[in-house]
Amino acid sequence: MEQAIRISKNKGGNGALRGFKVIDLSRVLAGPVCTQILGDHGADVIKIEPPSGDETRSWAPFGPEGSSAYYSGINRNKMHAAADLSNSEGRDLLLRLLEGADVLVHNFKARTLERWGLGYEDVLSKRFPRLIYCHITGFGEDGPLGGLPGYDSVVQAIAGCMSVNGRGEAGPTRVGMSIVDLGTAMNALAAILLAAYERERSGLGQKLDICLYDCALSYLHPHAAGYLQAGVEPARTGNQHPSIAPYEEFQTKSGPMFLGVGNDGQFAAVCRELGCAVFLDDPRFATNALRVKNRAALHDLLQAHLADQNAESLSARLLGKGIPASAILDVRAALAAPHTAHRSMIVEEGAYKALGIPIKLSRTPGTVRSMPRALGVDTREVCRQAGFDQSQIDEMIARGIVFEPRKSGSTPSRG
């Protein structure tokens, strides 16, 4: 992490979403990622956790100050409050906060808010007609799987993603990142911004139905298109692309590399760079369709020319000639790469280190203004913003309606 860069906190904030108020009741990954992105771009995000906290606070590994790296990586630029929403007085706090709020994001099980008397159709849409209500679930609220719990890996399995990932002989393989959760976060973000744009015309909010299952199915391109339109049964191809060749992993003397040849011009350039221009006269490799058909033979021929190469230097040469290629880096190497630093993709503030902001806006760039903090650390301020006075806040803390940290700053207290 020697090349991590420090980004100064912007206290004032001039993000694209400045003044956009978000109430975040979500936990774990998809919701918190979505609301962190909103916060990165200037939204005022109030995260309200249950008394026990977001469960990821207890997930290892832990940073130098004892906080969960998982939690801290996706919960910056938020205020951190804790309240018991199963209690009517906790729900009163929520209703007060929704006055003037633009968005409510939650991932409670289907019908939870309805049981609490806070259903969107019957209550919230009538009381807060401009509210954008984003409900993130595993499978949606109804249908054969509606309301059932959904976790990233399980959804990868049930939506067909695992079946097309991995090598043929190894069997279905989970994608190594929580790709469905992360993709669902992006879908939720897009839905919120779409609804906010439409609200400018109609003056009305709406309910957003975002689920992991839909997101996972949308990842099945081109496999689903090939099956639906041509009846082709997808197969696991490991690091090979099902529609392009050579687009796969090769071994070099310094380690594995990936070569991505997307068209005939790139194929010709690769062959010349590797000293095997003779392949251009081989009728088996004249077009991409033929190269895919004869992939195994092409792979073996190219591998012979790559075996004595250095992956890093060769990749640099190929990239310089417009040919996508890279040594296959591990996470440590990727985070330490000069281009990662150049793109400001590592942020550091004291003990806090995390990935940076991938969405770059020229005039209203995103900023890191506050770090993830202890459970309930902003509870008093959030209650004040909701209109409660000091004595009322003290009473709610004493009665276990809302929570603040103990003097140690590590766990919530009832008073």
Catalytic residue flag (residue 305):
no
Name the active-site residue from 221, 223, 241, 339. 241
H or E segment to which residue 354 belongs:
strand 352-355
Q: Which residue has the tokens 């919701």?
A: 31
C-alpha angle 380-385-389 in degrees, rounded to nearest 5: 65
- Report the chain's terminal Cα–Cα distance, integer Å: 40
Q: What are phi and psi of 341, to 5 degrees?
A: -65, -45
* Cβ density class 59-88: b for 16+ within 10 Å, e for less: eeeebeeebbebbbbbbbbbbbbbbbbebe
Neighbours of 312 (CB within 10 A): 16
Residues constituting the chain: 415
Facing residues of 137 across strands?
211
* Amino acid (one-letter) located at 304: A
CB of 76 closer than 8 Å to CB of 373: no
Question: What CA–CA distances, in Å, run from 304 to 131, 183, 294?
Answer: 61, 38, 16
Is the link from the previous residue into 242 a cis peptide, with omega within 30 of 0? no
* 387 burial level (CB within 10 Å; 0-12, 13-18, 19+): exposed
Helix (H) / strand (E) containing 296: helix 295-306
For 92-143, the DSSP string reads HHHHHHHTT-SEEEE-PPTTHHHHTT--IIIIIHHH-TT-EEEEEESS-SSS
Cβ-proximal residues to 28 (8 Å cutoff; 6+ apart), any chain: 54, 55, 56, 107, 181
| Peptide bond before residue 246 is cis, with ω within 30 degrees of 0 | yes
Q: What is the largest CA-CA distance in the chain?
A: 85
Active site residues: 241
